[in-house]
Structure 1
């Protein structure tokens, strides 16, 4: 793979990241705004991307905004929010053609960056509030999104697992916010919080493409400028580690469903910034990360107990989450087989072939991620969140060097925390 290099400079109140590559004929710009996960702000932060992406003062309607993007040779701008560990991240992304490959070399990058700037710094607002018609419409859109979460039973079960597992921790907070708080937000109160976000969030600006560093730094810093703030770059939220119940707990809830959702949460006691993380990554690959994993083979294929069975890591919080869809009558059997696979991992009951297969799959997955400009930036931003620097090539090498002993050792750090079952009304007898 092509070596990925990154230049980082602190300038104009934010961090500028430059990633040169000749791989793409496009330029990718990503702006990341980071703040601690907090109950008092999460619903406002959930709503802001909906409102901001509707237009700017210069292009106040969705139609005018899209027309401008079309003029920029089909450029695209997107916004969303996510939680990573106990931080909340708002991301703005611009994908635009590299003008050096266009006839007459039109200055579309500067226009695209100005449009991205206006989305963030000059939104459709007046008199210290967002345009009421836009605000009201997007507030309703988020309301419907929150209501629809109950209909996606897998997502709902995962949300309830985190509710139970992380009570009292910031990570418990729902990334889409809360209905009762949404009802109280006004156009003016959201705008006031938006101004606070611009003042206080840590901001990282990434630009990736076949472009000279000096020119890119000059363009970006001429367009993006923040007021220096003492709190802006000090808002890193350390994930609270290892708040473990004295004994694992089980929560069973019922709904009108045919396929039950069995989710189990474990504390890994290892996060992205720690040396054991590479072994944990391989552990997850063997345990439940891929279709060749123990969960898939033993729960789904061998015993025909699950429609799906898999696991994933939350690398900044230190969690391993297991997901499975089962027939309600198979709860105990499926739960026990999943837990048996964890016991097998702790006892070293896996082969060298499984280790090498997991390493190869992790490597391929990472190479696939890095083959996409957005994926590269996301990987590099993980390092900002973890305050740990490692080149992607070195990351892959560390994965390849993981031994069986290291996988067993890291597996013994895992602690079962919460089992959550969402089952049919008849499933009450399990309690």
Structure 2
């Protein structure tokens, strides 16, 4: 399976056309990328909340929803996320393809106009956003930051990264910080948003069944920006190789199920030759229900409610996340470490290796079946500074040998153990 990408830079914007016959909808994505910084993150976290509340022509959430309904039930979403040490703000707009609808020949044009308005003409009052919207959404973000502590699994992962990546941009919280909110003014946020639009690396993606030239013409007709001198985004060429002293932190909370999370440094990034082997290692270690963590920690020893691993490929990290009974801490940690050692010693069969490769390829195919999945996959290459056609990645995964997986297993270093446990629960006797 291949994904055809037609890429063009116009008006200081990177346009990516992904024409394909897979979907009955056309999906647009507008992405702004900047380095993760403590001083701007809360503004970046708040902006999506405000921007989806209305535009100049559709100043309320209700009017904006009505316009989306007019576009045959178009769907809009705006959000922010971190990829490695970058922060990305994404606008998604999905509309039915006019090819499959009667009397809707200008649907795509209208959708592009609306998308342009959402990005470029937010509901503005004076030098800022609507004060009511600004205050209300600031309050909602504050509540959401507060409530992170209620989702213990997410909270444990944030605390692991806080400690493990202390002093690195990656430890910055993508959801922002409550203490920044009280001093943040409406006008300051608005001015910052104008800077984002004018100066940040901007990528626009379209996926669906369309003529690329025609689509590009419609987009470049709407999306223009005057060339401003941009500093090139500083970008970390090195996978993070911080101190290899293992750290351990145990915190207590009112919980029944303890969260045991472990952070590793892989020293392998998306663009590295060893990336396919890292994916296979992760799949066998904790990526699937057939993995060592799942079978040995959960099934055989009934020690975990869940035990999984995942890779952060733009920062060179791997995380193990598990939910355990507080009293099983030492035992669970020992068994997780044993699984890593088993991988280092090549204690797995060729069958398991081949099965994992198939699972990874099928998972990728499934991702690419969805327009947003396809866009995110292609954008991965922009952030990772490496073009990797889908077929090439599949082939790379198929070619991974047992020796390469063992080599990666030996390169992955444990950096941090974090346990969130019940008060007076596990830890050290």
TM-score, normalised with respect to structure 2: 0.98
Partner of 1:9: 8
Is structure 2 residue 259 aligned with structure 1 residue 254? no
User: Partner of 2:403: helix, strand, or coil?
Assistant: helix
Q: Is the 8 A contact 1:169 1:240 kept in 2?
A: no
Q: Is the 8 A contact 1:9 1:15 kept in 2?
A: yes
Partner of 1:147: 146
- CA–CA distance in 1 between the matches of 2:237 and 2:333? 28
User: Where does structure 2 lack aligned partners over 5 or more consecutive residues?
Assistant: none
Q: CA deviation at 1:65?
A: 0.3
- CA–CA distance in 1 between the matches of 2:222 and 2:428? 60
User: Partner of 2:28: helix, strand, or coil?
Assistant: strand
- CA–CA distance in 2 between the matches of 1:180 and 1:22? 48
The 5 A counterparts of 1:176-187 are 176-187=175-186
User: Partner of 1:307: helix, strand, or coil?
Assistant: strand
How big is each residue's C-alpha offset from its partner over 1:167-188, in whole Å with a ceiling of 9 and x where there is no partner?
0100000000001112211111
Q: CA deviation at 1:427?
A: 2.2
- CA–CA distance in 1 between the matches of 2:234 and 2:71? 36
The 5 A counterparts of 1:167-206 are 167-206=166-205
Partner of 2:269: 271
Is structure 2 residue 400 aligned with structure 1 residue 423? no
The 5 A counterparts of 1:370-385 are 370-385=368-383
The 5 A counterparts of 1:110-259 are 110-231=109-230, 234-238=232-236, 241-259=239-257
Q: Is the 8 A contact 1:87 1:236 kept in 2?
A: no
- CA–CA distance in 1 between the matches of 2:25 and 2:427? 58
User: Partner of 1:426: helix, strand, or coil?
Assistant: coil
Q: Is the 8 A contact 2:246 2:416 kept in 1?
A: yes
Q: CA deviation at 1:243?
A: 3.5
- CA–CA distance in 1 between the matches of 2:402 and 2:307? 24
How big is each residue's C-alpha offset from its partner over 1:76-132, in whole Å with a ceiling of 9 and x where there is no partner?
111000000000000100100111221124301111111111111100012210100
Q: Is the 8 A contact 2:326 2:425 kept in 1?
A: yes
Q: 1:369 to 1:428 in 2, by over 3 A?
A: closer
- CA–CA distance in 1 between the matches of 2:237 and 2:263? 16
Deviates more, 1:46-55 or 1:208-217: 208-217
Q: Is the 8 A contact 1:239 1:317 kept in 2?
A: no
- CA–CA distance in 2 between the matches of 1:229 and 1:317? 29
- CA–CA distance in 1 between the matches of 2:104 and 2:160? 53
Partner of 1:337: 335
Partner of 2:41: 42
Q: Is the 8 A contact 2:240 2:315 kept in 1?
A: no
- CA–CA distance in 1 between the matches of 2:301 and 2:115? 52
Partner of 1:26: 25
Partner of 2:91: 92
User: Where does structure 1 lack aligned partners over 5 or more consecutive residues?
Assistant: none
Partner of 2:411: 413
Partner of 1:288: 286
- CA–CA distance in 1 between the matches of 2:254 and 2:274? 42
How big is each residue's C-alpha offset from its partner over 1:1-45, in whole Å with a ceiling of 9 and x where there is no partner?
3x2110111101110101111121211111110000000000000
- CA–CA distance in 2 between the matches of 1:325 and 1:244? 27
- CA–CA distance in 2 between the matches of 1:165 and 1:429? 19
Q: CA deviation at 1:236?
A: 4.7
How big is each residue's C-alpha offset from its partner over 1:141-164, in whole Å with a ceiling of 9 and x where there is no partner?
111110010000000000000000
- CA–CA distance in 1 between the matches of 2:282 and 2:121? 44
How big is each residue's C-alpha offset from its partner over 1:300-345, in whole Å with a ceiling of 9 and x where there is no partner?
0000100000000001000000000000000000001001111111
TM-score, normalised with respect to structure 1: 0.98
Deviates more, 1:41-50 or 1:207-216: 207-216
